[in-house]
């Protein structure tokens, strides 16, 4: 029965990763600032959240690795339809993979490079740093604050 549910979720592009509440983050000077204390979804290693709206023209996916590193990507597969992504276990505990939430399930390594599936281009990865108790994500070309 579970495979039927998973099939329909993939058909509809429904991911496991949930959005982070807009009041937990902001866009400031070309950067996204996320209050680390507001990241209960990222308390579990290997999981992620995505940011959508509130000044972004494209959603951002933030992933916490098994080694407590934070990674950020533009949350859209580079295949037709531009579905969202989910973090999935990778070849090593601190190297998660990302998988498209469509039937074709394109997969990408933690650098954003395509591993399998119909996607043709790599993902856009964003520089991340921790500053004053905040996670700061630099917006890369193609993902900017909307005006």
In a domain, 144, yes or no: no
In a domain, 143, yes or no: no
In a domain, 74, yes or no: yes
CATH code (residue 63): 2.102.10.10
In a domain, 36, yes or no: yes
Tokens encoding 32: 């996204």
Q: What's the rounded Cα separation, in Å, for the pair 65 and 83?
A: 22
In a domain, 32, yes or no: yes
The total domain count for the chain is 1
In a domain, 73, yes or no: yes
Nearest to 62 by CA among 102, 103, 19: 19
Other beta carbons within 10 Å of 126: 21
Residue 146: predicted pLDDT: 41
In a domain, 128, yes or no: yes
Low-confidence spans in the chain with pLDDT less than 50:
142, 144-147
What is this structure's pTM? 0.84
DSSP string covering the chain = -HHHHHHHHHHHT--S-EEPPGGGEEEETTEEEEEGGG-GGGSSTT-EEEE-STTBSS-EEEEE-TTS-EEEEESS-SSTT---EEEEEEEETTEEEEEESSTT--EE-TTS-EEESS--SPPPEE-EEEETTEEEEEPPTT--B--
In a domain, 147, yes or no: no
Percent share of the chain, pLDDT over 90:
38
Residue 144: predicted pLDDT: 43
Residue 79: predicted pLDDT: 83
* Interval 80-114: pLDDT, tens: 767 889 898 888 877 889 999 876 779 999 999 99
- Which strand ranges, in their side-by-side order, compose the sheet holding 134-138? 25-28, 31-35, 134-138, 128-131
Look up the domain containing 40 and give its range: 2-138
């Amino acid at each position: 029965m579970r495979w039927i549910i998973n099939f329909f979720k993939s058909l509809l592009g429904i991911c496991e990763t949930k959005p982070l509440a807009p009041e937990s983050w902001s866009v400031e000077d070309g950067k996204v600032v996320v209050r680390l204390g507001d990241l209960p979804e990222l308390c579990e290693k290997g999981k992620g959240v995505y940011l959508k709206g509130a000044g972004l023209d494209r959603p951002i996916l933030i992933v916490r690795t098994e080694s407590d590193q934070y990674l950020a990507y533009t949350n859209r597969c580079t295949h037709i339809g531009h579905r969202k992504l989910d973090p999935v276990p990778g070849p090593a505990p601190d190297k998660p993979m990302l998988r498209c939430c469509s039937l074709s399930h394109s997969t990408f390594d933690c650098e954003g490079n395509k591993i399998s599936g119909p996607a043709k281009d790599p993902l856009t990865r964003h520089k991340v740093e921790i500053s004053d108790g905040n996670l700061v994500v630099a917006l890369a070309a193609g993902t900017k604050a909307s005006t």
